[in-house]
Amino acid sequence: MTSSPAIRAEDPRMLTRDRWRAREGAHQERADRLTAEHRARAQRGEKHPVWDFLFTYYSYKPTQLRRWHPGAGVALVDARERADWRWYAAGPVDGSFAPDAEAYAREKPQLAQLVERMLRRTAARPAQFGCFGLHEWAMVYQQDETRHPVPLRLGRDGTDAVVEANELRCTHFDAFRFFTPPAVPRNRLSLTRDSQSEFEQPGCLHAGMDLYRWAMKLGPLIPGELLLDTFELARDIRLLDMEAAPYDLADWGVIPVAIETAEGKAEYVRRQREFAERGVLLRGALLQAWFGTPPVAP
């Protein structure tokens, strides 16, 4: 480690204390805005069938979302308070510290390989559209009980009829694994955990949502601003996921996207394409932040 007489203010790999503290503060304010309603509900002990998913299924707390990092290899000057932070290493200037991708890979080799494989293979695969959000319908197919304590919009028989009138084309294992036993053989693909990276594709809503999962798992290697971008994408996708679901969520202000109709299918695909485009950019940004190289275009 060597000291430097001067730091160029525009150097993106070296942030003065004023610069990184300002970014940290802005990040915390943005994170607080994004989680304010959830935190208020939690204090009141209230549940929400749409938004709780972002904090239960992904199991990341608002305090974790609030923690800012500069990204792999970006040194924070005068940051001795981060000397003991996990996956940080001493930077090129005395008292500077930077997230270390090599340290992360040494400590979490299997996780690092999994995340890279999921990001790169998904990025290299063409997007597919036409699933119409039927994974949620397949999760309640021919069952008397539902996954959420809300009624079915079309009732039991109407819900089953929609599944039977359409082909199930789910490519995301973490949705497929919740299919009811009668729905499993109706899916075009038989998915497993081991084959997850072979079928994941960028048109899938859940593949877009999972960018938040991968960003969170990479911790300090991902800039805080990018982490919040992935959270916002997951939030926006979650709304469509529930709008297109078979549940009656009118009491929660959710207007259904009636995917059992041609108009509903068209709206779903239009929005699905928009989310896929956002996901392509964020997936590339995650790889760029981690490795300094973008993914190979499909």
Q: Which amino acid is at 171?
A: T
The whole-number pLDDT of residue 27 equals: 98
In the block, which residue shows the tokens 């950019």? 281
Residue 147 contacts residue 140 (beta carbons within 8 Å) = yes
Residue after which a domain boundary falls, among 42, 77, 106: 106
- Write the DSSP assignment of 238-283 as a string of letters: HHHHHHSSSB--GGGTPPP--TTSHHHHHHHHHHHHHHHHHHHHHH
Co-location of 166 and 255 in the same domain = yes
CB-facing half-sphere around the CA of 60: CA atoms within 13 A: 21
Q: What percent of the chain has pLDDT over 70?
A: 94
Question: Based on the domain organization, do 100 and 140 belong to the same domain?
Answer: no
Please check whether residues 229 and 127 belong to one and the same domain: yes
Judge contact between 212 and 234, C-beta under 8 A. Answer: yes
> Residue 14: its pLDDT value, please?
92
Q: Give the chain's domain count.
A: 2
What confidence score (pLDDT) does residue 146 get? 72
How would you classify the pairing of strands 14-15 and 75-76? parallel
- Let me know if residue 5 belongs to a domain: no
Specify if 89 maps to a domain.
yes
pLDDT at 10: 56
How confident is the model over 192-213, as pLDDT tens digits? 999 999 999 999 999 999 999 9
Rounded (10°) angle between helices 205-217 and 224-243: 150
Q: Are 199 and 244 in a shared domain?
A: yes
Q: For residue 2, is it within any domain?
A: no
Q: Same domain for 275 and 248? A: yes
Q: Are 144 and 273 part of one and the same domain?
A: yes
**Whole-prediction pTM value?**
0.93
Per residue in 160-192, pLDDT (tens digit) is: 999 999 999 999 999 999 999 999 999 999 999
Instruction: Give residue 274's domain range.
Output: 111-291
| CA torsion through residues 283, 236, 214, 246, sign | negative
Task: Look over the chain and give the mean of its residue pLDDT values, rounded to a whole number.
Answer: 93
* 186 and 242 share one domain: yes
Q: List the chain residues with pLDDT less than 70.
A: 1-11, 293-298
Read off the amino acid at residue 272.
Q
pLDDT score at 1? 36
